[in-house]
Amino acid sequence: MERRDFLKDKIEQVGRVLGKMIANFMGAKSQGNTAQGIEISNQYLQTELDIDIDQILKLEKEDLKSYLTERNLTAEHLETLVSYLIELGDYHQDQQYYQKAIILNEIADEISNTLSLMRMGVTEQIKMKMNQ
């Protein structure tokens, strides 16, 4: 029972950290400080959750799935990371962020054991960005 409570608390903490990271990033972006927002957000992910965006970009799907599940990320957490990777792709004009976002959506489907229409829509939007 204590183990379940610990895991539940950890998952909730991850959600709070990701929410704060996205809010800070969007705030910096709205003030025209996107580069600084990215730097701060990436550092925040690294220090608070031991998530390295560069590592995410390098890992193949199965290794990436292990990397993320070891850090107690749920499908909802991955959706937040997908949104962030899309922002990074838009800023850097680099399709590797979009490709990884699609893979994260696939992993989210696998973790949740459901096929989400919302994630499917996001994947289609990403593919449209990639074809522009």
pLDDT of 72-109, one tens digit each? 999 999 999 999 999 999 999 999 999 999 999 999 99
Residue 114's pLDDT is what? Answer: 85
Residue 67's pLDDT is what? Answer: 97
Residue 102's pLDDT is what? Answer: 98
Averaged pLDDT of the chain: 92
d(CA 68, CA 75): 10
Q: Evaluate if residue 54 carries a pLDDT over 80.
A: yes
Q: What's the whole-model pTM score? A: 0.91
| Whether the Cβ atoms of residue 95 and residue 130 lie closer than 8 Å to each other | yes
Write down the domain spans for the chain.
Answer: 1-130
Residue 10's pLDDT is what? Answer: 81
Residue 2's pLDDT is what? Answer: 60
pLDDT of 32-52, one tens digit each? 999 999 999 999 999 999 999
d(CA 44, CA 47): 5
The pair of structure tokens assigned to 87 is 């922002």
